[in-house]
Structure 1
């Protein structure tokens, strides 16, 4: 007899007590955490957190796109935005420079596929371009995380990546680029050993995948 795992509503925002448990766990693991009402509050807070003139890399993220954070950083003049610079470079002759720019910015901003109540961040990637900066290459990392991404544990986080995030991201990349996405690389951040390096802006609302 096969026992199926209970269904988890991966698109529903978690209630306040669960957000607070996750925030406490993240704090205990060395992450700075702020619980904010919505994406508008996160947009304001991101601007406050990033020094003017910093080199900033925005990872591909529906959360950043929908919140306006991606446009604030990459279309404005407040920062040295890496993404527009990289997009203008030749992918062959500039490959080494692109790799270095993405790996070690002053600040990397993005989101995650899942956040566990035990205080782990789970990031899935097709190319892996954002992972070096997330893992330690960037001087500072900021993640904006919708309340629907909160799950009980790592097993459920991986199910969320496979069952929920991948189909949505594949539909996006198919429309944008003509091919589906893939979970080629997974990064799990269980703790941050450098105090002050990582900030999680945990929203009370759902946004992104």
Structure 2
């Protein structure tokens, strides 16, 4: 199993819409998201995913005419990303006693996690969806996330029977020790999603990847 990441203590979270916590209020606990990387034995040599952007690039501005009206809150049930053949169910993610976000179960390679105290996909705000890039046994659900580019589309099925359609604005890679929490997790005035996984090189010392890949997208 990969070593647990170090994470700063979260600041007091401000109440968000509907009494939920805003993403920036809990951004620190998501810093680096290193629990979403490989879970290898020390002598493993995992194939590191490539990234389609850089941490210094700003997210591309989206045409506001391409922005869909926000949907009411509803639990996501399934993620579809046709370009990379993702068809995966959701599990909910929450904070553990240490203040770190708990990862999806590593035993299931085709599973994504949604941070349930944030916005739901399609709801106004920033929804967080995370998944493993690989496990000790095989590639996992977000192994090919690096292939997504501006203009690619994906969808989220919801418990209310609606499907939220998203378009990618950008895909960017950040070092885990210099992760821009405010940029990634700040609350949004429109429905947005962040797809997050590990990227970069695999560090055998800490048994984790060096970077995070973040895909920025908005509802259409």
With the length of structure 2 as denominator, give the TM-score of the two structures.
0.29
Highest relative contact order (Cα 8 Å, sep 6+), 1 or 2?
Answer: 1
When Rg is computed on C-alpha atoms for both structures, the one with the higher figure is 1
- Structure with higher helix content: 1
- Structure with higher strand content: 2
